[in-house]
């Protein structure tokens, strides 16, 4: 099969269209490293050239996508120190390490979370018999036999994962012709075709082999006429790098994807990826798995991004899967226990995880978008709201008593494709920038949204302020009136404050002075003594901010104390990755774990 790397040059500039994962990344990915030593991701300010940056820091360009560069740092042991300097450089819009990301079903994904074995964490019941694929309970749970208005025609679903078995008979005809006898796709691991391949060698970790093929089969089952854009950004162990994920998202956007499925994550916000996702939010429904820790305290990015649909997993009776994360970040849920789908080498398998709940939502999004395209153009906000608002409530299901308001509703393809069009809506967002020009760490965003005449919300998110500290929020409206409130940051210095006309357990009532939300103009975060920390103004930033706010996304003491830069060596402070103890040096960057 002739797979071609298709790139819309006007939208996406890449030095190596299918450049494989760097040797450093491939070497580190086999263990539990959190990032690729000696590599940094940098986005430049307008008017700055990469030659200027390279001359200043001795770096060299490994790869480029748009205005974002992957750089090699000459002294790999100084990765964090160099990244910190880059973040403080006024010529740099954003900088970060090339962190690893992983599928929630990877056996040993690198992160700060403790190691954990997930139930059914590897595919089971692998067979050549497709009967289970066609008769599994999920099909009746979602009432797929009753979906009649659309089959996903005209929609492209980008699948960023381990690749896809391109020769599987149930996936044949599901890809996008490139006009030259081949199909569109991209391999960022080895180059070539985005095949879902098994790793070789006695120590090869194939815990996520088949992950992408399995997801593709679920998308094809729910939206059989949608076309899949396979992008291989994770290796057979389920691990990839931030930079390759950024390239994957930008490739999906440039290729016209209407839905982007992301069954992977990392414990912290990833520098560079937030910009790529923000750039895609108006043209594609973004869907991500929330992770398999069975926790409401362990966040996973990009599911934690406000404009990404975060998907939890249920069993077929509507009970939260024991392994599924939950909490206020969850938007919607889908079956994710003992699903049957396609598997490499023309086989089928059974697997469980939020990784596989996510594509059921992505495929349903494809159905909704297909219906939109048949009568006009895509409306991402409308499609997203439709999926959430038409979901079947599961709070009342026996067994979900402890998760009320924390697992969303079960996605409903039938109701989502038969509901009336969304009411007129408006959404805009601004960045909250640090008032102190020397503060390159703190940041945030504010968003105001109107959905119809009655449903309105105003949300503020802050990041990397002082941990467990009370701040004031001051909002000035178009008439000059002010509204003040207070909030307390969590252990990472983050907080989210949401106001809605119809408030629930996770939001506060929308005050009269902020109604309608279109009157909200100036947003400020203040210390208790009244001094400003963050500020943003809707009147000077129509359409929202650019999401490029810099700052350190770590919550682990990175670069803040003594100790070795990458290994936690040296006396005094802890290691910079785990914030480990003092004295003889804290923990290094090898803290194990799965997402």
pLDDT one digit per residue (tens) for the chain, 595 residues: 444 443 332 222 222 233 455 444 444 444 446 889 999 999 998 899 999 999 999 999 999 998 899 999 997 668 999 999 998 898 998 889 999 888 766 554 444 333 222 334 678 999 999 999 999 999 999 999 999 999 999 999 999 999 999 999 999 889 998 888 888 999 999 998 999 999 988 878 888 999 999 999 999 999 999 999 999 999 998 899 999 999 999 999 999 999 999 999 888 888 788 889 988 999 999 999 999 989 887 778 999 888 999 999 999 999 999 999 999 889 999 999 999 999 999 999 999 999 999 999 999 999 999 999 999 899 998 999 899 999 999 999 999 999 998 999 999 999 999 987 676 667 788 889 999 987 867 888 899 988 765 678 899 989 889 999 999 999 999 999 999 999 999 887 889 899 987 655 567 899 988 989 999 999 999 999 999 999 999 987 544 433 333 333 343 334 333 333 443 333 333 334 333 333 333 333 332 222 2
Catalytic positions, written as ranges: 161, 211, 355
From residue 50, give the alpha-carbon distance in Å to each of 21, 46, 357. 21, 11, 41
Cα–Cα distance between 461 and 450 in angstroms, integer?
A: 18
Contact 190, 5 (CB under 8 A): no
Cα–Cα distance between 175 and 14 in angstroms, integer?
A: 23
Cα–Cα distance between 379 and 386 in angstroms, integer?
A: 11
Contact 183, 1 (CB under 8 A): yes
Q: Which residues contact 432 (CB under 8 A, 6 or more apart)?
A: 443, 444, 445, 446, 460, 462, 523, 525, 534, 535, 536, 549
Is the pTM here over 0.85, yes or no?
A: no
For residue 473, report the phi and psi dihedrals to the nearest 5 degrees. Answer: -110, 125
Cα–Cα distance between 135 and 406 in angstroms, integer?
A: 30
Instruction: Kindly give the residue spans of alpha helices, DSSP state H, lying in 438-541.
Output: none
**Secondary structure (3-state) at 222:** helix
**Secondary structure (3-state) at 416:** helix
Tell whether omega for the bond before 27 is within 30 degrees of 0, i.e. cis.
Answer: no
Exposed/middle/buried for residue 114 (C-beta within 10 Å: 0-12, 13-18, 19+): exposed
């Amino acid at each position: 099969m002739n797979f071609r790397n298709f790139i819309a040059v006007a939208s996406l500039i890449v030095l190596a269209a299918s450049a494989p994962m760097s040797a450093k990344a491939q070497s580190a990915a086999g263990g539990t490293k959190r990032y690729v030593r000696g590599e940094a991701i940098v986005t430049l300010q307008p008017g700055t050239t990469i030659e200027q940056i390279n001359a200043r820091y001795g770096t060299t360009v490994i790869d480029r996508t748009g205005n974002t560069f992957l750089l090699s740092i000459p002294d790999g042991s100084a990765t964090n120190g160099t990244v910190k300097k880059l973040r403080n450089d006024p010529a740099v819009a954003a900088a970060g390490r090339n962190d690893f990301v992983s599928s929630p079903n990877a056996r040993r994904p690198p992160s700060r979370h403790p190691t954990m074995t997930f139930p059914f964490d590897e595919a089971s019941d692998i067979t050549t018999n497709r009967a289970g694929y066609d008769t599994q309970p999920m099909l009746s749970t979602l009432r797929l036999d009753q979906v009649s208005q659309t089959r996903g025609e005209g929609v492209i679903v980008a699948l960023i994962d381990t690749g896809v078995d391109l020769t599987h008979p149930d996936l044949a005809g599901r890809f996008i012709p490139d006009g030259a006898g081949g199909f569109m796709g991209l391999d960022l691991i080895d180059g070539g075709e985005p095949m879902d391949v098994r790793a070789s060698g006695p120590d090869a970790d194939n815990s996520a082999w088949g992950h992408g093929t399995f997801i593709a089969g679920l998308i094809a089952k729910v939206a059989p006429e949608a076309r899949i854009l396979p992008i291989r950004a994770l290796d057979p162990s389920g691990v990839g790098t931030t930079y390759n994920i950024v390239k994957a998202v930008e490739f999906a956007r440039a290729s016209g994807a209407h839905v982007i499925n992301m069954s992977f994550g990392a414990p912290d916000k990833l520098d560079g990826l937030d910009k790529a996702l923000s750039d895609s939010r108006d043209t594609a429904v973004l869907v991500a798995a929330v992770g398999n820790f069975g926790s409401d305290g362990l966040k996973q990015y990009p599911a934690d991004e406000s404009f990404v649909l975060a998907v939890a997993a249920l069993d077929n009776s509507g009970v939260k899967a024991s392994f599924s994360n939950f909490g206020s970040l969850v938007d919607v849920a889908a079956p994710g226990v003992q699903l049957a789908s396609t598997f490499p080498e023309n086989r089928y398998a059974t697997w469980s995880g939020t990784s596989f709940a996510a594509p059921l939502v992505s495929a349903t999004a494809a159905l909704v978008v297909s219906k939109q395209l048949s009568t006009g153009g895509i409306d991402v906000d409308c499609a997203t709201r439709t999926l959430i608002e038409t979901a079947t409530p599961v709070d009342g299901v026996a067994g979900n008593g402890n998760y009320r308001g924390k697992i969303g509703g079960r996605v409903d393809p039938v109701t989502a494709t038969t509901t009336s069009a969304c009411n007129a809506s408006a959404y805009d967002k601004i960045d909250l920038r640090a008032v102190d020009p020397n503060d390159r760490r703190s940041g945030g965003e504010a968003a105001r949204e109107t959905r119809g005449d009655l449903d309105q919300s105003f949300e503020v998110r802050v990041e990397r302020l002082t941990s467990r500290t009370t701040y004031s929020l001051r909002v000035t409206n178009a008439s000059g009136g002010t509204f003040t409130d207070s909030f307390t940051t969590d252990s990472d210095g983050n907080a989210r404050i949401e106001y809605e006309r119809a408030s629930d357990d996770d939001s506060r009532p929308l005050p009269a002075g902020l109604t309608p939300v279109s009157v909200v103009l100036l947003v400020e975060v203040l210390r208790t003594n009244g001094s400003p920390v963050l500020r943003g103004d809707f009147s000077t930033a129509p359409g929202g901010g650019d999401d490029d706010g810099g700052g350190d996304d770590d919550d682990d003491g990175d670069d803040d104390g003594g100790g070795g830069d990458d290994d936690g060596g040296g006396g005094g402070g802890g290691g910079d990755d785990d914030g480990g103890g003092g004295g003889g040096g804290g923990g290094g960057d090898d803290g194990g774990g799965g997402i």
